[in-house]
């Protein structure tokens, strides 16, 4: 492995630990406990993960374009694959949040109907 690639892996690991994993955890909590508060927290975490992901892409591009960068084409492909996987995961979480928003909305609508009948 090259030095540039090792640095990139470190950046990606930190991104995963600080943003991606907390996003996944917040979406799982939302699925377990579908409340508006959990929905807002999950959406906030998705937004934060997306914004930080854009920063990470910029950092990775700068690392690869440094004059003394040492990264092989195979390593570049691995990084692209990893970033694509993270992007798919983020998109999936956003879709899950949208689905859970519909579930919460339906549950609230049903609760209003029941309270009107009482």
Contacts of 56 (CB under 8 A, 6+ apart): 11, 12, 15
Give the pLDDT confidence of 66-104 residue by residue, as tens digits.
Answer: 878 888 889 989 999 999 999 999 999 999 999 999 999
Q: Residue 84 and residue 37: Cα distance in Å, rounded?
A: 29
Tokens of 76: 């570049």
User: Please, which pLDDT band fits residue 118 given cuts at 50, 70 and 90?
Assistant: low
Residue 48 has pLDDT above 70, yes or no: yes
Answering whether pTM is above 0.85, one says: yes
How many angstroms separate the Cα of 41 from the Cα of each of 33, 69, 70, 93?
12, 38, 40, 12
- Can you tell me the distance from the alpha carbon of 71 to that of 3, in angstroms, rounded to the nearest whole number? 8
């Amino acid at each position: 492995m090259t030095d540039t690639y090792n640095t990139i892996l470190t950046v990606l690991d930190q991104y995963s630990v600080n943003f991606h994993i907390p996003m996944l955890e917040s979406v799982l909590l939302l699925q377990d406990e579908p409340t508006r508060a959990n929905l807002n927290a999950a959406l906030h975490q998705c937004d934060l993960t997306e914004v930080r992901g854009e920063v990470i892409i910029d950092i990775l591009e700068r690392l690869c374009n440094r004059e003394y960068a040492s990264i092989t084409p195979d390593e570049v492909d691995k990084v692209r694959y990893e970033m694509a996987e993270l992007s798919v995961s983020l998109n999936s979480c956003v879709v899950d949040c949208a689905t859970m928003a519909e579930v919460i909305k339906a549950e609230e609508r049903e609760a209003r109907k029941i309270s009107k009948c009482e």
